[in-house]
């Protein structure tokens, strides 16, 4: 862990530069020393069926868009560390999406989810590479 998941409306596909966002997120998370490098993962979920607000279209196209990001982390970090990571990561996300937000209606949201200490199952031999 952690896993960074970006759920985005498909009308952001050309402008969101998620590979660029993922690079920034990985660099940030690795720099916190709170998370093992071998466990950091990012992925996108593109939404092709969605509706937002009143569903208005401007010039025949969907003008609304949203991106919801989740950071799933393993159990054990302090609330202070989680809040700091959340605030700093959301600032990074807002900066990344600022050019899009200046051009269209965009809703951004972000949450951190801490996985249950006993009900989180995983196997990962990538950690061996970074030991």
Candidates 2, 19, 36, 99; catalytic one: 2
Query: Does 99 qualify as catalytic in the annotation?
Result: no
- Through-space distance between the first and last CA atoms of the chain, rounded to whole angstroms: 16
- Name 69's Cβ contacts closer than 8 Å, sequence gap at least 6: 4, 5, 6, 7, 93, 108, 109, 110, 111
The stretches of the chain forming alpha helices (DSSP H) are 18-31, 79-103
Catalytic residues: 2
């Amino acid at each position: 862990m952690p896993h960074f998941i970006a759920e985005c409306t498909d009308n952001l596909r050309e402008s969101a530069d998620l590979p660029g966002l993922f690079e920034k997120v990985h660099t940030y998370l690795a720099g916190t020393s709170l998370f093992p490098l071998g466990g950091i993962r990012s992925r996108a979920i593109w939404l092709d069926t969605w509706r937002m607000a009143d569903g208005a279209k401007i010039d025949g196209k969907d003008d609304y868009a949203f991106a919801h990001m989740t950071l799933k982390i393993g159990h054990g970090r302090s609330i202070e560390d989680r809040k700091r990571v959340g605030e700093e990561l959301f600032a990074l996300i807002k900066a990344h999406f600022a050019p899009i937000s200046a051009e269209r209606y965009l809703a951004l949201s972000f949450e951190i989810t801490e996985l249950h200490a006993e009900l989180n199952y995983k196997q990962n031999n990538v950690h061996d590479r970074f030991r």
